[in-house]
Chains A and B, each alone.
Chain A
Amino acid sequence: FRIMAGKVKWVTDIEKSVLINNFEKRGWIQVAENEDWNFYWMSVQTIRNVFSVETGYRLSDDQIVNHFPNHYELTRKDLMVKNIKRYRKELEKEGSPLAEKDENGKYIYLDFVPVTFMLPADYNLFVEEFRKNPSSTWIMKPCGKAQGKGIFLINKLSQIKKWSRDSKTSSFVSQSSKEAYVISLYINNPLLIGGKKFDLRLYVLVSTYRPLRCYMYKLGFCRFCTVKYTPSTSELDNMFVHLTNVAIQKHGDDYNHIHGGKWAVSNLRLYLESTRGKEVTNKLFDEIHWIIVQSLKAVAPVMNNDKHCFECYGYDIIIDDKLKPWLIEVNASPSLTSSTANDRILKYNLINDTLNIAVPNGEIPDCKWNKSPPKEVLGNYEILYDEEMAQSDGPDRDLRNRSGQSAGVKGNRARDSGKPVLTTWK
Chain B
Amino acid sequence: KKSEHLKYIILSLRFPSPCHPAAPPEHMKEPLAYMRKAQGSWEKRILKSLNSMCTELSIPLAQKRPVSEQKELLNKWNEMGTDEPDLSLFRPVYAPKDFLEVLMNLRNPNYENGEQPSFRNHLGLIQVPLKVKDIPELKEDFSELGLNIGQLGIDDSAQVPPEFFENEHVRLGQKVLAEQDSAAAQQYVRQGCPTALRADLWALILNISNQPEDILYYEQLKSNVIQHDLLVDSLIYKDVKLTASNDDYYFVFEDYLYQVLLCFSRDTSVLEHFTYSSATPPKSYIQGKLGMEEYAVFYPPNGVIPFHGFSMYVAPLCFLYHEPSKLYQIFREMYVRFFFRLHSISSHPSGIVSLCLLFETLLQTHLPQLFYHLREIGAQPLRISFKWMVRAFSGYLATDQLLLLWDRILGYNSLEILAVLAAAVFAFRAVNLMEVTSLAAAE
Residue contact B252 to A194, C-beta cutoff 8 Å: yes
**Is A196's beta carbon under 8 Å from chain B?**
yes
Residue contact B82 to A267, C-beta cutoff 8 Å: no
**Is A425's beta carbon under 8 Å from chain B?**
no
Select from chain B the residue with minimum beta-carbon distance to A257: B246
Binds B, one of A15-23, A291-299, A388-396, A406-414: A406-414
Residue contact B320 to A196, C-beta cutoff 8 Å: no
**Is A135's beta carbon under 8 Å from chain B?**
no
**Cα–Cα, bound, A267→B322 (Å):** 15
CB < 8 Å: which of B157, B248, B256 contacts A263? B248
**Is A195's beta carbon under 8 Å from chain B?**
yes
**Is A228's beta carbon under 8 Å from chain B?**
yes
Chain A 140-172, CB-CB to B under 8 Å as 1, else 0, gives 000000000000000000000000000000000
Select from chain B the residue with minimum beta-carbon distance to A342: B248
**Is A58's beta carbon under 8 Å from chain B?**
no
Residue contact A194 to B400, C-beta cutoff 8 Å: no
**Is B143's beta carbon under 8 Å from chain A?**
no
**Is B251's beta carbon under 8 Å from chain A?**
yes
CB < 8 Å: which of B196, B248, B256, B321 contacts A259? B248
Majority DSSP secondary structure for residues of B touching A? helix
Q: List 29 A-B contacts (CB under 8 A).
A: A194-B252, A194-B254, A195-B78, A195-B79, A195-B255, A224-B251, A227-B82, A228-B82, A253-B84, A254-B81, A256-B245, A256-B246, A259-B248, A261-B251, A263-B251, A263-B252, A264-B248, A266-B400, A267-B399, A270-B195, A270-B319, A270-B400, A274-B196, A274-B198, A275-B319, A275-B321, A275-B322, A277-B196, A412-B158
**Is B217's beta carbon under 8 Å from chain A?**
no
Chain B 359-401, CB-CB to A under 8 Å as 1, else 0, gives 0000000000000000000000000000000000000000110
Residue contact A194 to B246, C-beta cutoff 8 Å: no
**Is A193's beta carbon under 8 Å from chain B?**
yes
Chain A 264-284, CB-CB to B under 8 Å as 1, else 0, gives 101100110111011000000
Q: What are the residues of chain B within 8 A of A261 when measuring CB–CB?
A: 251
Top 7 nearest A-B pairs (CB, nearest first) are A228-B79, A194-B252, A273-B195, A278-B196, A411-B158, A194-B253, A258-B246
Q: What are the residues of chain B within 8 A of A228 when measuring CB–CB?
A: 78-79, 82, 255
**Residues of A in contact with B (beta carbons under 8 Å apart):** 193-196, 224, 227-228, 253-254, 256, 258-259, 261-264, 266-267, 270-271, 273-275, 277-278, 342, 410-413, 415
Select from chain A the residue with minimum beta-carbon distance to B76: A228
Q: How far is the CB of A246 from chain B (nearest CB, A)?
A: 15
Residue contact A267 to B249, C-beta cutoff 8 Å: yes
**Cα–Cα, bound, A256→B319 (Å):** 21
Q: What are the residues of chain A within 8 A of B81 when measuring CB–CB?
A: 254
**Cα–Cα, bound, A261→B252 (Å):** 8
**Cα–Cα, bound, A270→B249 (Å):** 11
Beyond A274-B319, A410-B158, A415-B161, is A256–B251 a contact (Cβ under 8 Å)? yes
Residue contact B246 to A259, C-beta cutoff 8 Å: yes
Residue contact B256 to A194, C-beta cutoff 8 Å: yes
**Is B43's beta carbon under 8 Å from chain A?**
no
**Cα–Cα, bound, A262→B157 (Å):** 26
Among B241-267, those with CB < 8 Å from A are 245-249, 251-256
Residue contact A259 to B400, C-beta cutoff 8 Å: no
**Is B318's beta carbon under 8 Å from chain A?**
yes
**Is B106's beta carbon under 8 Å from chain A?**
no
**Is B73's beta carbon under 8 Å from chain A?**
no
**Cα–Cα, bound, A196→B82 (Å):** 12
Residue contact B195 to A278, C-beta cutoff 8 Å: yes
Beyond A194-B253, A195-B255, A224-B252, is A254–B82 a contact (Cβ under 8 Å)? yes
Residue contact A193 to B400, C-beta cutoff 8 Å: no
**Is B199's beta carbon under 8 Å from chain A?**
yes
Residue contact B161 to A194, C-beta cutoff 8 Å: no
**Cα–Cα, bound, A266→B81 (Å):** 24
**Cα–Cα, bound, A76→B196 (Å):** 39
**Cα–Cα, bound, A102→B419 (Å):** 58
